[in-house]
Each structure stands twice: as structure tokens, then as C-alpha cells.
Amino acid sequence: SKGIMSITESKAVISDTGYIDLMKFIGGYSENFLPKTNQEFASATFGAAWLSLQWNLVSRNASVEAIHLEHMRYSGDCLQIRFAKSKGDQTGEGLGNTKHVYANPIQPEICCILSMALYFLSTPRRVPTQQQSPNDTKFFQGSNQKARWAEVLHRILGCLPDAVDLGCAKQDGMS
């Protein structure tokens, strides 16, 4: 093999309507995925926050996992999230990589700000200390949140009714 691969290999592109349907499903707007336990609620709020950030920031899993609370700030009518590094800037020299997230009051089921708030307010946080670990300030606390997202997504995709068309092949982790 010469290292040549198709430009669509290992990529899953989700359509706008697929994203909306998936967010409605995760958010409990579907009878097929109503959270019944605290664990299911925690998975649903995590999944909605992760997917909405990934979608709205047009970011990879590694970038979403690396978001810290101090990377976020409100300016005007948007939440700004600054990325220290990205796949295209591994050294972090281009620290001006700030992305903007806006509320969507017209469609709350896909509102990134609402999904983030529900996750943040329903997730116990570690109390900051002077011996604070870098993981303590992460928005998604924990050691391997990419794997957690892949697990949640796998479970969700297994429950999706056939009527939900994501516009993509159903793959684990979706890049």
C-alpha cells in the first residue's frame, strides 16, 4: 500500500437534520431514549453537551476534550472559547484561535449554551484548591472523555429508530 486513502475514509459527515434529530433524541425528546436513571441522565446531559460543542465549534474530539473553564468567556451575546492548540497548530503559537457559540432560543433542543448549562449544573465539580490539577479546570472532567463520548454515542446509535436519518454512516466516535 502506498498510503493512499479515500478522502471519505474514516470520516462520518452528519447532516443538519441528522444533528437536530440526534440532539432531540439525546435530550430526551424521544420516547426511545428517555433517561430513567441518574446514570442515564448523566450520559444524556454529557452527550448533548459534547455533541453540541463539537458541532457548533466544528471541532475534533481531542479539541472538545481539551476545553478548560478558563478558555471560556462571554462577550456581548456569545460565548467565546479559545483553543490553546489544534491539529493545525500543535505548538499553540496561534493562540488567537477563538470560536464563538451563540444561544438558540428558537430551538432549545439544539441550543449549545443550554446543553452546556444542563451538563455543568448537573455534574458535581471538584472544589478548586491551590494544588489544583489541570484536569480540575476541564469543562468535561475526567481522564478519558473521548472514550466516554464514544461509549455514549455507540449506545445512542444502537437505540436510534430507523426514521432518524443522520445523513452519514453510523460510526463510533464520529471522528
CA distances from 55 to 1, 26, 79, 86, 124 (A): 34, 14, 15, 16, 25
Burial 150-161 (b: 16+ CB within 10 A, else e): bebbeebbeebe
In the chain, alpha helices (H): 16-26, 38-57, 61-65, 112-122, 145-159
pTM of the model: 0.77
pLDDT in tens, 11-56: 567 788 888 888 888 876 655 556 677 888 888 899 999 999 999 9
Q: What is the pLDDT of residue 90?
A: 58
Q: What is the pLDDT of residue 97?
A: 82
Residue 144: pLDDT above 70? Answer: yes
